[in-house]
Every structure is written in C-alpha cells, then in structure tokens.
Copies of this chain bind each other. A is one copy, B any other.
Amino acid sequence: MATKQLASWAVNLDAASLPESVRQCALRSLYNYIGCTIGGSNHATVSKACDALSPFFGRETSSLLGHEGTKKVDAQHAALINGIASHVHDYDDTHLATIIHPTGPVASALLAYAEYSGGTSGESLLCALTAGIEASCKIGLAVWPEHYDIGWHITSSTGNVGAAVAVGKLMQLSEDQMAHAIGIAAVQVVGLREMFGSDTKSFHPGRAAQSGLLAALLAEKGYTSSPQALEAKRGWANVVAGGGTPKLEQYVSELSQKWEIEANAFKPFPCGIVCHPAIDGCIQLHHEMKSKGLRVQDVQKVDATVHPLVIELTSKRAPKDGLEGKFSVFHGGAVGLLYGKAGPAQYADEVVTDEGVVSIRDRIDATPDKNLKPDEVYLTVHFADGTELKRHVLHAVGSLEVPMTDEQLTEKFVDQVALVLGSDGAKEASDTAWKIAEARDVTGVLGRL
C-alpha cells in the first residue's frame, strides 16, 4: 500500500490548502537551500564536477546557482551540480529525527525541472517541494536507524524518492505514473557513509536529485516499475534496511497529519552541531559585553561546561586551518566572542591562524558534564578586574526549540553568499530568494540567482 498511498497523497496535495506554517517552513527551507547552494558553488568539489561533465552538457535550460560563466546547463546536470553545491559545506538543513538533509536532493531536481519546463508559480514550487521533503522524511523514518547504521547516507538514499515525487508533482503525473516514478527512483540507491570526508559525500545528494528527476521523466512517458516498489518483499525498504517494514505503512499513513518539514532545522554555524551551544552562548556574550562597554581583549579566562560529546568531537586546541577549525569548540567560541559571528568567513584559514583569534582561543577552557543535554552549555567569562559574566544556553539556536529567525537565516544567507557574489550581490540574491513564493513564474527568478 505504501507506494500507492504516497503517490496518491502527493498527486492530490493542494497548494492552496497547505497549512500556513507548512508553507512558511517550505519557503525557509528553499531560501536556506539557495543560500547554501550559491555558497557552495565555487567550492573545488563543484569545480571538479563541472570540469568533468561540461563536455556532456545539453540544452541550456536550467541555472547553476551562483555560477558565473556557464550559467545554464541541461536540467539533469543542473540537478546534479546544484545538489553537490548544496551539501559541500555541510551547512544545509537537517530533519533532526533522521539526520536527513532533505532540501538538497529535492530542490535541486525541482528547480532544474521548473526552469526546464517553464511557467511554474512560486506557490506550485513550494507545494512540490513540500511533497518531496515529506516523501523523503517519511520513508527515512521508516528505515531509521537501521538503514543509517548499516552504512547508507540517508540523505541521498531517501532523497532520490523525494526528488521524484517533487518533480512528478510539478509534472502533474497521474497517481499511476507517480507510483512508477517512485519505483524508478527507489531502485537508484545512492550514498555510502564510507565516503564522508571525500568529494563523493556531496556527490550523493546531487546524484539523488538527478536520479529522482530521471525517474519522473521516464514515468511521464509511461515507463513502468512496480506499484509496490517501497514495501514489497524485495522492494526498497526491506532491501535497504535489512528486512521488516511495518513502520513504512505507519509513517506513510501519517502524511498530512504530521508534517516533517515542520521538524526541519537549519544550521546557524558551518561546523559540527555539538559545538553550536557554546558558539551561541559566546555570541550572546559578545553582545552583552558590547552593550556594557567591556572589551574582549580584557577577558582573562572563559570556562565552558559542556556535554561530553563536545570534548570528544571538537576539542582541537590548536587548529591549523579552516577545516580543523570546524573541529575546535575553542575556535568557534573565540570568533563568537570577538566578532559576534561564526559564519563561513570566520572559518577561513587566515582567521583560524590569526594572532588575535588564537590569543582569545587559548583563554577558553571546556569541562565535560554528562548531566548536560547535547544542546546545552554553561559559560562564565572572567575579567582581569574580577568582573564575571555568566550565560546558560538551554537549547542552542537552530534547534527545534529555538529555531533560527528569518533575520538569522538572512544573515546566514548573506554571509555565505557574499563570499561568492560579493556583499551587494548577496543582499540582492537574498531579496530575490525570499520573494520566490510570490513569483508567477519562477524561471526568471532562478535565472537571477
């Protein structure tokens, strides 16, 4: 039942009837995706892919977000390359219950197809995006955690289906065609965790996007798969999760009752999530010091009490470059205190090795306490004159309890996009991206990003 039920639900999902909260989540997910994708567009991993694939580019219909020069390529390559860019900085969204980064595969396929086909409204786009994200996350929940534990990269191994559902929705496939599209997508299982740390990690969501798009294109022309693709004995869920799919039917039956997109979170800082509470607290302290006229240079010592995972994963005392900086809670805290920011610019190699930053970093200490929750921190800042500032962060910004505000999302967008398009270009792109929902036809909008 699950395959047909998912297909039927997606085909019948009505843009005008989407709850406003869901629509907002879809817009925020899309906006964040656009920022991450432009932000990743000049990464070496993306450049290598473009270099390898440019001889195969077809008709130029679909934008490579953020790119100068070869701006448009065929829709299949746009899906692949934007998908790579969306994930390459590990800065994309997270459905926390499954650690799926859902928007990358879905939106990469969807935007590429929207531009190819022309005439899609912003509202249709958000509805299709929602359908795709719900599809990915529901089937992800069904196989979580076995599937991830086995070694699959769950973002891409569910994103293929999400991408097919989203594109199929925009195509207005029939229920039968949509079921076949889901099946054709489901046989293309991409992504192994062994690849984490290599270029291939971000290839995963890109290829998932492209696979889902391909599935929908084939189904549209009558290509058949199986109407039990997800739930059959030798179908997707059993094969990728080592057997047993009772949860699949359950989760699919909850479509439209519980919206997974409402549980989609955004990363405020481009580093491991465990050090986010400390960075958040340090940024708050930066603002408090500023308002009180205290100088960070006068700080003598900072004591942080953190969840033990913070020490285990991010305790690099003397990071040597940007990449190592991402594994140093001390660097994250230092730039938070100094600049009130821990964006991509603060993880540049030259910032990580900057004398002023190093000097503050060396004054920070962290003590593990297993009674804390992972997104909690206690901070005390000691000044030479005996002044003390204290801060307790119960939930870090970017958690479901304290989601990033639209303003914070905008800051994140502009900070990362400015590194590619410059400051003015970034602000312009941000304005354009926020307005995408209002577009009668998104084609023109995407061409400007």
Q: A residues touching B (Cβ–Cβ < 8 Å)? A: 45, 48-49, 51-53, 55-59, 74-76, 116, 150-153, 183-184, 186-195, 197-200, 203-204, 207, 217-218, 220-226, 228-229, 232-236, 238-239, 242
Q: Does B56 lie within 8 Å of A234, measured CB to CB?
A: no
Bound form: Cα–Cα A239–B190 in Å: 12
B49 touches A226 (CB 8 A): no
User: Closest CB of chain B to A52's CB: distance in Å?
Assistant: 4
Inter-subunit contact A193/B234 (CB<8 Å): yes
State the CA gap A239–B116 with chains docked (Å).
36
**Residues A195 and B55 in contact, CB atoms below 8 Å apart:** no
Question: Do residues A151 and B194 form an inter-chain contact, with CB atoms below 8 A?
Answer: no
Nearest 10 CB-CB pairs, A to B?
A: A151-B234, A58-B58, A52-B221, A151-B239, A200-B225, A193-B234, A194-B235, A198-B224, A194-B234, A194-B232
Whether the Cβ atoms of A191 and B187 lie closer than 8 Å is: yes
Q: Which of A152, A188, A224 has the most CB of B within 10 A?
A: A188
> Nearest-CB distance from A79 to chain B (Å)?
11
Question: How many whole Å from A116's CB to the nearest CB in chain B?
Answer: 8
Are B238 and A151 within 8 A (Cβ)? yes
- B-chain residues with CB within 8 Å of residue A57 when the two chains form the complex: 58
7 A-B residue pairs with CB within 8 Å: A48-B223, A49-B223, A56-B74, A57-B58, A183-B194, A189-B189, A194-B236
Residues of chain B with a CB closer than 8 A to A75's CB? 56
**A51 contacts which chain B residues (CB < 8 A)?**
221
The docked-state distance in angstroms from the alpha carbon of A197 to that of B200 is: 33
Flag if B52 contacts A194 (CB, 8 Å): no
In the complex, how many angstroms separate the beta carbon of A86 from the nearest chain B beta carbon? Answer: 17
A226-B238 contact given A57-B58, A76-B56, A187-B192, CB 8 Å threshold:
no
Select A203's contact among B49, B116, B153, B218, beta carbons within 8 Å.
B218
Flag if B188 contacts A190 (CB, 8 Å). yes
CA A291 to CA B53, docked complex, whole Å: 61
Q: Are A192 and B242 in contact (CB under 8 A)?
A: no
| B218→A52 contact, CB < 8 A | yes
CB neighbours of A234 from chain B (8 A): 150-151, 192-194
Known interface pairs A188-B207, A203-B218; 10 further A-B residue pairs with C-beta atoms within 8 A, sorted by A's residue number: A45-B223, A56-B76, A150-B238, A150-B239, A151-B239, A188-B188, A192-B239, A194-B236, A200-B224, A242-B242
Q: How far is the CA of A186 from the CA of B192 in the complex (A)?
A: 8
Question: Do A226 and B48 touch (CB < 8 A)?
Answer: no
Do residues A226 and B74 form an inter-chain contact, with CB atoms below 8 A?
no
**Pairwise interchain contact B184-A200, C-beta atoms closer than 8 A:** yes
Contact A187:B183 (CB < 8 A) given known A53-B217, A55-B59: no
Q: Is the CB of A48 within 8 A of B221?
A: yes
**Chain B residues in 8 Å Cβ range of A193:** 234
The reply to whether B184 and A187 form a contact with Cβ atoms under 8 Å apart is no
Which residues of B lie under 8 Å from residue A226 when comparing CB positions? 194-195, 197-198, 200
CA distance A204 to B211 in the complex (A): 12
List B contacts of A192 (CB < 8 A): 186-187, 229, 234-236, 239
Q: How far is the CA of A218 from the CA of B44 in the complex (A)?
A: 13
With a cutoff of 8 Å between Cβ atoms, the chain B residues found around residue A58 in the complex are 55-58, 74
- Is the beta-carbon distance between A220 and B52 smaller than 8 angstroms? yes
CB distance from A218 to the nearest CB of B (A): 5
A218–B222 Cα distance when bound, in Å, is 32
A52-B223, A56-B58, A218-B48 known; A183+B195 contact, CB < 8 A: yes
> Can you name the residue of chain B whose Cβ is closest to the Cβ of A230?
B194
Which B-chain residue is minimally distant from A53 (CB atoms)? B217
Closest to A80 in B: B214
Q: How far is the CA of A369 from the CA of B59 in the complex (A)?
A: 60
In the assembly, what is the distance between CA of A415 and CA of B198, in Å? Answer: 49
Cα distance A193–B193 when bound, in Å? 24
CB pair B200–A223 under 8 Å, yes or no, is yes
| CB of A124, distance to nearest CB on chain B (Å) | 21
Most buried by B among A187, A191, A197, A225: A187
Residue in B closest to A239 when the chains form the complex, CB atoms: B151
Closest to A219 in B: B52
CA distance A228 to B151 in the complex (A): 14
Expressed in whole angstroms, the Cα–Cα distance for A362 and B165 within the complex equals 49
The minimal Cβ–Cβ distance linking A321 to chain B, given in whole angstroms, is 17
